[in-house]
Amino acid sequence: MKVPKRLQPLVDDGMIDEVLYQLMSGKEAQVYVVQCGDQVCCAKVFKEAKKRSFKQAVEYQEGRKVRNSRRARAMSKKTRYGQKEQENAWLNAEVDALYRLARAGVRVPEPMGFVDGVLLMEMIADADGKAAPRLDDVSLPAEQARDYHGRVIKEIVRMLSAGLIHGDLSEFNVLVENDGPVIIDLPQAVNAAGNNNAERMLERDVDNMRRYFGKYAPDLLVTDYGKEIWALYESGDLHPDSELTGCFEHDTHSADVAELMAVIDSAKEEELERQERLLDNDED
């Protein structure tokens, strides 16, 4: 096929020998299957910010570190330079996450390079060597659904053990290769330790997987891996091979309303006394 404009520099530099076909076009990027030497890879071409529909939500960006203080200040002030740097940071987030998770043993596409907004990475293939389907495109017998669900939960645990949460995990960004599920699409990956929304996002990822696989194996619908995983993480007891039960004992202790109201009334009284003292000082 004709070489897309964004891929031409990589062809000119010899990183890509041939563009075979377009695999998909999504809200944030277009993905092409390319020939790189004797290996078939994927080239993910990120769209420019103004052409993307995926919002760079603040809840995803919280906790991400910017090493350069000048860039950090510009990003916080939202200057033109700052917006450009914020865009670069957003694009680099997936690349950084892929390298980090690959090192941690999480089953993600192996990254091979990132040049001018184009991510070269491993192509996830099925048994016939073709691009692997998404979970949403397959039907599963109950036993296989349980097996795949267990594998995805283990990947989520490995991700969190490496300090990251996918943040947008669903049947649309899990591929099914010959050896099982592979997690993709990580531009919104969340820093677990630095993001106040981390617990909610982890539970949402886990719940999405429970609902999907629960269509084929209804017994999975009563599991509660999300809260169990987060409890282990908070206590410092989570590790990549943690044994999980899928059960979580919720706190059923009822709040003491009278005690809570007493605390609130006390706080109000203290604030009233503080205001009176300030008023007295002003009069003096």
Low-confidence ranges of the chain (pLDDT < 50): 51-56, 60, 64, 66, 71-72, 74-75
Q: What is the pLDDT of residue 270?
A: 65
- Residue 140 near residue 174, CB atoms below 8 Å: no
Amino acid code (one letter) for 283 = E
Q: What is the pLDDT of residue 51?
A: 46
Residues paired with residue 44 on neighbouring β-strands, in sequence order: 31, 119
In sign, the C-alpha dihedral spanning 64, 65, 71, 76 is positive
How far apart CA 97 and CA 184 sit, in angstroms, is: 11
Q: What is the pLDDT of residue 63?
A: 52
Q: What is the pLDDT of residue 271?
A: 66
**Of 97, 104, 123, 127, which is closest to residue 19 (Cα–Cα)?**
123
Q: What is the pLDDT of residue 79?
A: 58
- pTM of the full structure: 0.77
Q: What is the pLDDT of residue 66?
A: 45
- Residue 191 near residue 163, CB atoms below 8 Å: yes
User: In whole angstroms, how far apart are CA 266 and each of 255, 263, 272, 274, 276?
Assistant: 18, 5, 10, 12, 15
- Tens of pLDDT along 20-68? 999 998 878 899 999 999 999 999 998 875 544 444 455 545 554 545 5
- Residue 104 near residue 161, CB atoms below 8 Å: yes
Q: What is the pLDDT of residue 163?
A: 96
Q: What is the pLDDT of residue 263?
A: 63
H helical segments located in the chain: 8-12, 58-61, 69-77, 80-103, 142-161, 198-214, 225-235, 257-283
Q: What is the pLDDT of residue 187?
A: 84
H helical segments located in 123-256: 142-161, 198-214, 225-235
Q: What is the pLDDT of residue 282?
A: 56
- Tens of pLDDT along 238-252? 999 999 999 887 655
How far apart CA 56 and CA 54 sit, in angstroms, is: 7
Q: What is the pLDDT of residue 74?
A: 46
